[in-house]
Amino acid sequence: MNEPILVIMAAGMGSRYGGLKQIDPVDPQGHIIMDFSIYDAMKAGFKKFVFVIKKEIEADFRAIIGDRIEKLVEVHYVFQEITKIPEGVIDIPAGRTKPWGTGHAILCCKEVLDAPFAVINADDFYGRDAFVKLYDFLIRTADATPMQISMVGYILENTLTDHGHVARGVCQTNANDELLTIHERTMIQKIDGQAHYSEDGGKTFHPLPNDAPVSMNMWGFPLAYLDALEKKFPDFLKEAVRSNPLKAEFYLPVVVDELLQEKAATVKVLHSSDKWFGVTYKEDKPAVERGIRALKDAGVYPETLWEEQQ
């Protein structure tokens, strides 16, 4: 078996943040959140990295992070483009500029994935423990039948921002930390200290348990998951054009939930001992900077991550 691969989804332009948040430094040394994820992943054992980006940010992306990482590990770039869809399924709707979501991002990687793979967001800090657990899971379960998927779960209230709404995959698990269902909630926010979600653009809100486990798009997949994505994508496209042609997205958690209900996969929810944090809005950045500073002071990271790697 080839060694596990890490896929980093960085195609989003950070519209709510107001800039390209994936390459915005979070410490005086100029590190970005992705630096810490890559550093932790390398420590966990990952040696091959796939960056999913938009073609128009390639030069900036390489300059900020890609060029230095290429000196240390195997790196591939994949461009998520709206035109990368199966031939003959649909015509791209007039006015559609948005890519087709996280599931589509992974399908765009198919040519460079030849081993079990983990998936993360570029702008979320997950902590080293999560990468260690994911890597070990992928090594142990690569050829299992039915396919075994893993997800690193975080507590909902610890992943919310005070500055707006967020999207999270809200999970239900059993006593063995196996995933039973996952519902992608695209608008979750705190109201008087309590998590709530809306499905009608904020007109009405419904409460969620603050301690509900949620997905932060940190997954571990066998190669067989690519086949499942490929089979389900055409039906999604047809439905998307009918129901929401400009904004419908093919979400990884939705496909995972379908596989669960079909009993075609099991999903183990892994729990990290580290604290998640991320930047959704510009106002979130100071908290991330304080978190990074505290981890450096505790000796988890050196002041400059890559000097010791050269």
Domains of the chain as residue ranges with CATH: 5-309 (3.90.550.10)
State the pLDDT at residue 17.
Answer: 43
Give residue 58's pLDDT band: very low, low, confident or very high (50, 70, 90). confident
pLDDT over threshold 60, residue 21 = no
What whole-number distance in Å separates Cα of residue 15 and Cα of residue 92? Answer: 22
Q: What residue type is assigned to position 72 of the chain?
A: L
Residue 61 has pLDDT above 80, yes or no: yes
pTM: 0.88
- Angle (CA) 245 282 187, round 5°: 40
Nearest by Cα to 217 from 17, 37, 24: 37
Amino acid residing at 23: I
Cβ-based neighbours of 159, under 8 Å, separated by 6 or more: 166, 168, 214, 216, 276, 278
What pLDDT does residue 307 have? 72
Percentage of residues in the chain with pLDDT exceeding 90?
Answer: 64
